[in-house]
Amino acid sequence: MLKESAIVKLITFIFLLTLAGCASHEVKPAVPMTIFNPKSGSFNVKVVLFQLNNDGSVQRLESGIVPMEQNIISALQGLGYHYNPDGNVDYLIEARIGSISPKQAVAESSETVGFAVDDGGDWPFFDDYPVIVSEWSPEIQRIKSGPDSCFITTQVLIKADEDQRDIVVYHGTPRPLEVPFVLGCPFSECGQGANKNLTDYILSIFTTATRN
């Protein structure tokens, strides 16, 4: 039986490695929270929701995005940041969150685990940060024979204007959250607590007092 820690470790790879088909992307390392020191300013935010199809491919979702974005906006405004949906801002925030089954993420033919989220071109600043993986792992066979499970996975990216340069200043992946198993791991049933967890995580990034 696959231990939870092994599953979590494998799922974390999803946000750190790149598919062979996306070799042109250079996967960036995560920026520790202690390095990112946000200052008061303006922001815009976009949430990308997804789940996996039966074949392990990604299905982008539209339903549920607006409440998450509104929750993040209200929380950051409460910290003194100014929301600006149009024009230049000090911080662009993109939060990618999805529900997955590790078994669905396993490609049997290639013995890899992987999927990708196409950003859609709205904010090309994050093109070098695909949500993908192509690393073979000995955990794959254990996942195939292990118990069914569902996880909520999250990736947060932040771009800032620093010294007149547009750069990604934060790339973080909180610990995947295991949720009760539902066949197919649909986000509509697995993501009930995702809104609060995502907002809390973003607040931890922008609130100095909560950063380690």
The predicted model scores a pTM of 0.71
Q: What is the mean pLDDT of residues 20-28?
A: 35
> Considering just the CA atoms, what is the radius of gyration of the chain in Å?
17
Go through 159-193 and write b for each residue having 16 or more CB atoms within 10 A of its CB, e for each that does not.
bbbeeeeeebbbbbbbebbebeeeebbebeebbee
Task: Please report which confidence band the pLDDT of residue 155 belongs to, taking 50, 70 and 90 as the band edges.
Answer: confident
65-98 residues labelled b (16+ CB within 10 A) or e (exposed): beebbebbbebbeeeebebeeeeebbbbbbbbbb
Q: Please count the residues of the chain.
A: 212
DSSP β-ladder status, 150-162 and 165-172:
antiparallel
The answer to whether the beta carbons of residues 30 and 173 sit under 8 Å apart is: yes
Answer whether 126's CB lies under 8 Å from 117's CB.
no
Number of domains present in the structure of the chain: 1
Report the range of poorest mean pLDDT among 19-28, 192-201, 202-211. Answer: 19-28
Q: What is the pLDDT of residues 97-117, one digit of tens each?
A: 888 887 776 655 544 444 444
Domain that holds residue 69: 4-210
Among candidate residues 112, 148, 150, the one with its CA nearest the CA of residue 132: 112
CATH number for the domain harbouring residue 68: 3.30.160
d(CA 115, CA 34): 29
